[in-house]
Each structure stands twice: as structure tokens, then as C-alpha cells.
Amino acid sequence: QVMLVGDSGVGKTCLLVRFKDGAFLAGTFISTVGIDFRNKVLDVDGMKVKLQIWDTAGQERFRSVTHAYYRDAHALLLLYDVTNKASFDNIQAWLTEIQEYAQHDVVLMLLGNKVDSAQERVVKREDGEKLAKEYGLPFMETSAKMGLNVDLAFTAIAKELKQRSMKSTSELHFQLHDYVKREGRRASCCRP
Ligand SMILES: Nc1nc2c(ncn2[C@@H]2O[C@H](COP(=O)(O)OP(=O)(O)OP(=O)(O)O)[C@@H](O)[C@H]2O)c(=O)[nH]1
């Protein structure tokens, strides 16, 4: 499961729709109520990875609803809007919330959305990079409107999740192998 988080209006729903349907939701802004989800299967190096993507509501009044979902998220895409300074300043608060509610090993990525609006940009690319570096997060600038870096961001997440799942399966195999060997030895040594 991948969860999209960030202030209201930063473009979470648009990013998801762009990724899922390759389209941009133009026109009136309809704020997400509670939580919404969509599935998409991605081909990662010849292997199918199914992403279930949760689009959360950025509005403060839905915060308690989203808190409950953090626990089950394997990855989080944290968005701000490059044309909205407040959404960037709030990233620290989102990170605190993530620290409190999400799994400690959650895959996390910072995205600065709406880079197509060059005229209205108030958050520089370097500012995003600096913040990401400070927290050790991968960072990308995106545009749900133009489709810039959207697939790339989700693919990077899918790759990381695939790698982790393979690692944990091989670790599991290893442990199992070890266990069988150990128990086998014990069984043979204690045989009457
Ligand atoms: N120029 C531009 N506008 C965008 C982009 N992405 C989203 N928008 C606009 O920003 C507004 C908010 O987009 P949403 O995707 O609904 O925002 P949200 O983060 O899901 O908001 P909540 O559901 O309230 O949390 C809409 O009017 C979109 O048209 C983008 O990449 N570029």
C-alpha cells in the first residue's frame, strides 16, 4: 500500500489520476473527503507489482481518519505545492505526524508538485532538495498537469517495495533454512 499525504490542494488526487488514467482533472477543485483508493499494477523489471494507492484528505478535519491508515502503509508520497509556501513549510509537521503514526521502516519520498506553474512558483527546487537532504529523503519535482515525473515517482516506489519484499522473503528462507538445520540436528542428536 502506498499512501499520498500532504496539505489540501497540493495535487494528491490529480497525481493519482494522472498515474492511474494518464489524465489531468482540470476545472473545479473537489477536495477529498476522508480517504479514497485505486489499484494499479506496474511492471517492474519484468515482475508485476500491484500498488494499492490511498489518496488521503489534506484537510485538517479529516486528520483523525487518515491517522488510522498510516500503520498499514508500506510507502508514503509526501507532497507539497511549489506555488504554495505554506504547504512546503508544513512538510516538517507532516514528517512529525509520519514519525508518530507510520511504520518506522516506511518507504518515504518527498514530491514538489505543480512545477508547470513556473510564474507562480515560490518554492525553489533547491529548497526542496535541501529539505529532502536534511531528512535523508529521495526527492522529485512533479507536475500532475503535464505528467512530469509522475510515473517515475511511482515506479521508484514500486521498485523499492519489490526489492524489500524480495529481501524479506530471502531472509525468511534463510531463517527457515537455519531453523530446519538446527532442529534437524537436535532431532538426530536426541534420537534414542
Ligand atoms: N498547475 C497545476 N495544477 C495542479 C496540479 N496538480 C493539481 N493541480 C490543481 O490543484 C488543485 C488541487 O488538486 P487536488 O489533486 O484535488 O488536491 P489534493 O491534494 O488532492 O487536495 P485534498 O483532497 O483537499 O487533500 C486542483 O484545482 C488541481 O487542478 C499540477 O501539477 N499543476
Number of domains in the chain: 1
CA dihedral 86, 35, 108, 175 (to 10 degrees): 160
**Containing structural domain, residue 97:** 2-189
Distance CA 50, CA 38 (A): 11
What is the predicted pLDDT for the residue at 189? 53
**For position 113, which CATH number holds?**
3.40.50.300
Atom of ligand 1 nearest to the CA of 29: 27
| Best residue for ligand 1 mutational test, from 7, 14, 78 (most atoms within 8 Å of Cβ) | 14
| Best residue for ligand 1 mutational test, from 13, 61, 62, 87 (most atoms within 8 Å of Cβ) | 13
**Predicted confidence band at 184 (pLDDT cuts at 50, 70, 90)?**
low
pTM: 0.88
Distance CA 19, CA 65 (A): 24
What is the predicted pLDDT for the residue at 173? 63
CA dihedral 87, 91, 96, 101 (to 10 degrees): 80
8-state DSSP, 134: H
What is the predicted pLDDT for the residue at 56? 92
